[in-house]
Amino acid sequence: MSEKTEKTGQRLPVFKTYKLYVGGKFPRSESGRVYEVTDSKDKWLANAPLSSRKDARDAVVAARKAFGGWSGATAYNRGQILYRVAEMLEGRKDQFVREVADAEGLSKSKAAAQVDAAIDRWVWYAGWTDKIAQVVGGGNPVAGPFFNLSTPEPTGVVVVLAPQKSSFLGLVSVIAPVIATGNTVIVAASEKSPLPALSLGEVLATSDVPGGVVNVLSGRTAEIATPLAAHQDVNAIDLAGADEVLAKELEIAAADNLKRVIRPQAVDYTETPGIERLTAFLETKTVWHPTGALGASGSSY
């Protein structure tokens, strides 16, 4: 403590060191690089990690490792965990209101409305985890003595480019439906406003979300997304935060292997979502089973 600080009784503030969230841990970028994050008036807010291609590959490894356990969990259990995220966010609301206000140049009241909506969005998707199978699956009428059942299964490892402008509500709106249905996700945070996404990693780490289910990277969107789009162990990519030029480049890169690609769309994240993002990363498995045959006595077996 300096002599001046001792005399005045003031203390130096402890600035927050933002880190990535990969595999349930908080590493700095493998490259050691950072970049300045500023508010809507170009005032410095923090230094955010500048993710490298190695960070992106590490995130894929973590997401794949977590996929088996997360997809194998019961839908009810996943719903409980998503609701727990909402609980933890409620307790840290003031922090996120401040970060969203700084990131998007909003008044405190408007930022609070965005954060409230994001918390409610977690609750909304938590309620869908054990219901979506009944909506998109079921029994199919077929000829012959068979049961024919269709059930949804998660696609796998999903890359999401977070919306550039809606730094928190938009972010939650593209992450929550992916993990609600049993997928694991790698998120490229908003390039200009990554702080709410990096802080969300801290919430996820204390919300019973298994490590690797959600992985958050910050930095240059194109630099992060390009190797992920071409990665052979990525099953799908949501281009929500990509501009038209980058989206086209990533679609081409994603064609190296079979990937589901969701193109950028004009979305008002303040509106109640439908189930489109829940079903976007589900595959349908169809099972045939004989209903039984009649024996000599006329009974079925």
| Across 104-122, average pLDDT | 96
The pLDDT tens digits for 204-254 are 999 999 999 999 999 999 999 999 999 999 999 999 999 999 999 999 999
**Cα torsion through 158, 263, 54, 255, rounded to 10:** 90
pLDDT-based confidence at residue 295 (cuts at 50, 70, 90)? very low
Q: Is 85 exposed, middle or buried, given 0-12, 13-18 or 19+ CB atoms closer than 10 A?
A: buried
Q: What is the CATH T-level fold of the domain 18-140+149-285, as seen in this structure? A: Aldehyde Dehydrogenase; Chain A, domain 1 (3.40.605)
% pLDDT > 70, the chain:
93
Q: Where are the beta strands (DSSP E) in 31-76?
A: 34-38, 44-49
Q: Is 58 exposed, middle or buried, given 0-12, 13-18 or 19+ CB atoms closer than 10 A?
A: buried
Distance of CA 69 to the CA centre of its chain: 17
Question: What letter would DSSP give residue 254?
Answer: H
The pLDDT tens digits for 9-61 are 788 888 889 999 999 999 999 889 999 999 888 999 999 999 999 999 999 99
Greater model confidence, 292 or 106: 106
Looking at residue 168, its pLDDT comes to: 95
> 188 is written with which tokens?
């490229």
> 226 is written with which tokens?
């390009």
